[in-house]
Amino acid sequence: MKRLEHIFVVLNGWALIGMLSAMALIVGANIFLRYFTAHSLPWADEAARYLMIWLTFTGAGLILRIGGHVAITNLQDSLPATGQKLLRALIVLILLTFFAYMVYVGWQYAQRMQFQVTPALRLPFLYVYAAMPVGFALLIVHLLLIARPFIGAGDYKSLDARGVDDDTVTGGANG
């Protein structure tokens, strides 16, 4: 199981690296062409925008794993240990419910947009809006993988120097 989790995290990370690299290359090429040939790629801004949308949704789960999202821990810190565990369990349940709802809503919205196409790339908007259900599904998987240590001790996964999951880090929202 730990090996599958590691593969999942690494693949998620490489997908983000690929999208960010593609975005940088497209924008860089467009800037070069604009200033050195007086012509630009008509689809570059649109492609970069859609890659940024996909980066945001698919990267949220990796940030969740390490406690990188904003969190206010005043209530949790004021509770006794048992109360803290119950509060964290409630938070996990609320998040799972919200993420599942957003997968459902996102998929419905993406399906509604499947017959409209983007202006420059002429891609069905389904591919753009699919970032939402895919991203929230990834959030569900990442949350389930960290739920036990988070509920038990408020731990998040830590990253080693290579950005790969190490053991866990105890602490608040920022590890």
pLDDT digits (tens, 9 = 90+) for 69-82: 888 889 999 999 99
Mean pLDDT of the chain: 91
Between 150 and 164, name the one with better pLDDT: 150
Whole-model pTM above 0.85?
yes
For 19, the token pair is 């999208």
For 139, the token pair is 């959030």
Q: Which has the closest alpha carbon to 46: 119, 125, 114, 129?
A: 119
What is the residue whose two structure tokens read 């998929």? 107
pLDDT, residue 175, reads 42
Tens of pLDDT along 98-136? 999 999 999 999 999 999 999 999 999 999 999 999 999
Beta carbons of 150 and 157 less than 8 angstroms apart? no
Phi-psi domain of 23 (left: phi exceeds 0; alpha: psi -120 through 50; beta: other): alpha
Q: Please, what is the Cα angle at 106 between 16 and 136, to 5 degrees?
A: 45
Q: Is 158 helix (H, G, I), strand (E, B) or coil?
A: strand
Q: How confident is the model at residue 173 (pLDDT cuts 50, 70, 90)?
A: very low
| CB neighbour class for 99 (10 Å; exposed up to 12, middle 13-18, buried from 19) | buried
21, 22, 26, 32 alpha-carbon torsion, rounded to 10°: 30
